[in-house]
Amino acid sequence: MVNFHINLSKKQIAILKSEQLKAEKKKDHKHAKRCLSILMLAMFKTFSEISLLLNVSTDTLQRWMSSFLLKGIAGIARKHSPGRPPKLTGKQKKKLVAMINDGPEASGFPGGCWRTPMIQALIKNKFNVHYAVKYVGELLHSLGLSYQKATSVSSNRDEIERARWLDNIWPKILKRAEKLNAHILFGDEASFPQSGTLNYTWAPVGQQPIIATIGSRKSYKVFGLIDYFTGNFYHQGYDGRLNSESYQAFLEEVLSKTRKHIILVQDNAPYHTSKAMQEFFNEHRSRITVYSLPKCSPDYNPIEKVWKKIKQAGTHLKYFPTYDCLINKVQDMLELMGEVKHEVLSLFGFYRRLSAA
C-alpha cells in the first residue's frame, strides 16, 4: 500500500488538536479518531500503523485523508445525521390527537370506542402513512394517550355550579373553619352487598375467575365522615335502610365525640335535605354549619375514595357465606381505615392544591 505524508501548517495542527480534545470531552470517539489520523499522517505514520493504533480500516483512513485534502478541516468535521425522518410530522401528530379526542364518529367510524386497527386506518386515510398495528400503540403512548376504561358523567351536572363551588364556596368554607376553629367533615354513605363485588383481576387466558355467591341481595350500609384537617374517619354501620332518622342518629354520635363546631359538606341525597333534616340542622345550628356539594359531583367528595379503598381491599372478589361474615369484614376495614389518618389526608390532595393556588 502506498503511504502518504501530509504537510500541515501550525494553524491547521492547532485546529486539529483543539477539535480532537473537544471530541474526546464529548466522547465523540469517531471524530477524535478522524482528527488524530490526519495529525499522525503529518508525523510520517503509515496507514498500517495508524490503522493498528486507531482500530480503523485503511480504506476508512484513505477516505478521511481524501476528504481532508479536498475540503480541509470541514471535510472531516462531524456531520450530524438527521436520522430516519418520522413518517408523521409534529403538526400531523397534533392533528391526530385532536381527532382521537373528538371520538370515532367525528372521523366517520361507527361506535364510540377507538380500537388500534381503527386508528391505523385513520392514519392511512388522513395522512397516507402506514404503520403496523403494534407500532400504532407505541405511537399513541408517545403522544400522551393510553388505553383506558371510560367513566360516565351525569348529563344533569351543572358546570356553572361546580365552578362556583371551587371559586367561591370552598374558600368561604376555609375562612369560616379558621374563624370558628371548626372541623370540615365531608360525608357520604356506602352499601356493601353480601353477594360481594366483582372487579378486574389477572387470570390465565380463557379461564374467567369465578367467585362463589349465595345470591343474597342483603347489604350492609355505612355512614361516614372524614376530617379535612386531621384525617379522622367517623363511621357507623346500619342493618336497615338509610333515612333521615338514621342519619340524625349518626350525626348526634359524631357531635358527642367533639366540642368543636362542625362544617358538614354533604351531597344532595333526599334524606340529607329532607324537612326532618332541615329541622335537625336548625336545632343544632350552634354546632353544625351545612354546605351542599353541586349536584352530580361525587368527584368533589374525597370520602368516595375511602369507600373505593375499602371495597378494593375488603369485598372485591370475596365470598361471604353469612351476613355476619360481611359485617365483620366491613367493620375490620372501617377500623383499619380509621387508623391510617395519613392515607385519609392524602385523599384531600385536590382541595389542598386548590387552596394553595
Cell of 242: 338509610
Structural element, H or E, at residue 187 = strand 183-193
Give the β-pairing of 262-266 and 183-193. Answer: parallel
- Which string of b and e fits 270-296 if b means at least 16 CB within 10 Å? ebbbeeebeebbeebeebbbbbebbeb
The answer to whether the beta carbons of residues 213 and 322 sit under 8 Å apart is no
The answer to whether the beta carbons of residues 232 and 340 sit under 8 Å apart is no
Between CA 333 and CA 327 the distance in angstroms is 10
Helix orientation angle between 349-356 and 170-180, rounded to the nearest 10 degrees:
90
Give the β-pairing of 183-193 and 233-238. Answer: unpaired
Between CA 225 and CA 232 the distance in angstroms is 8
Q: Where are the domains of the chain?
A: 10-76, 91-142, 159-356
* Cross-strand partners of 233: 226
pLDDT at 155: 67
Q: Which long-range contacts (CB under 8 A, 24 or more apart) does 195-198 make?
A: 195/320, 196/315, 196/316, 196/317, 196/318, 196/319, 196/320, 197/311, 197/315, 197/316, 197/317, 197/318, 198/316, 198/317
pLDDT at 3: 62
Q: Distance of CA 257 to CAs 92, 232, 234, 242, Å?
A: 61, 11, 10, 22
pLDDT along the chain (357 residues), means of 10: 73 88 85 88 82 79 85 75 70 93 84 86 90 90 84 75 94 95 97 81 74 79 96 93 93 95 95 95 96 93 94 86 92 92 92 83
For residue 193, give every residue at least 6 positions away whose Cβ sits within 8 Å of its Cβ, in sequence order, or none: 216, 217, 218, 219
pLDDT at 288: 97
Please name the fold of domain 159-356. Answer: Nucleotidyltransferase; domain 5 (3.30.420)
Structure-derived torsion over alpha carbons of residues 146, 311, 341, 323, reported in degrees to the nearest 10: 180
DSSP 217-271: --EEEEEEEEETTT--EEEEEESS---HHHHHHHHHHHHTT--S-EEEEE---HH
